[in-house]
Amino acid sequence: MRRLVVLLLAALPLLAIAEPTVPALELVTSSSDGKTWSVSLQVLLLMTALTLLPSLALAATSFTRIVIVLAILRQAIGMPQTPPNQVLVGLALFLSFFVMGPVLDEVYANGVKPYMEGTIQLDAAASAAEKPLRAFMLGQVREPDLELFAGLAGHEEYATPEAVPMSVLLPSFMTSELKTAFQIGFLTFIPFLIIDLVVSSVLMSMGMMMLSPMLISLPFKIMLFVLVDGWSLVMGTLAASFAT
């Protein structure tokens, strides 16, 4: 079951561009000279994968780190609703596709494509699809987090990275991603916090106690972010943070 879930996660973004080998609907003639439509197993697996896709996309890809950093950045600028959630999630999603592109290409070439061509069985395809995803997660996971969940599961030290079960690797990977996201978000927050402190100090020294510092600092933070080409810096830093 675990390998089937991994294969479905890897195959779903590529099913739209792959040539189907099994018809979605097949007209079957019954013994009573009637005809009925039969839904293929491929469509059934696809519909099952659609229900699991959101949680799997959060658990096994770079989406978690990216969306958290972008949310912290929006809060640091001082505009909690700008960009809107749809834009923020869209940025995180497509940047995740960019980061995960080489992994998905390897999954498709080694597991999904041979399986759809009928050259390998499901178990072999799932094993081949799992390897690049496992390598990606092991490259980002922190050793203390891995040891924590291994201890909670009652496992001893693993001899090889391939011996780490997905039930331990997935929560370890997500915990590591949360830590890394908050570290990057902290560094992103500092310049905007300095601007808020400076503006607040100036207003207090001038005796303008009734004027909100956030109202004055917001244009300066936006101007600073635009002048340093902030979106390119943030997106580039996020993409580069996954290099191993």
pTM of the model: 0.72
Burial of 77 per CB tally in 10 Å (0-12, 13-18, 19+): buried
Tell me the backbone φ, ψ of residue 29, rounded to 5 degrees.
-90, 125
- Cβ neighbours of 139 (radius 10 Å): 12
By the 8 A CB rule, do 71 and 88 touch? yes
Sign of CA dihedral 220, 226, 227, 228: positive
Q: Quick check: helix, strand or coil at residue 243? A: coil
- pLDDT, tens digit only, all 244 positions of the chain: 455 444 444 444 444 444 445 454 454 454 445 444 445 555 666 677 677 777 777 778 888 889 899 998 888 888 878 888 888 888 888 888 888 888 888 887 877 777 777 777 777 777 787 788 888 888 888 888 888 888 887 777 777 777 788 888 888 888 898 999 999 989 888 888 888 888 888 777 777 767 677 777 788 888 888 888 888 888 888 888 887 6
Round to whole Å and give the CA distance between 107 and 200. Answer: 52
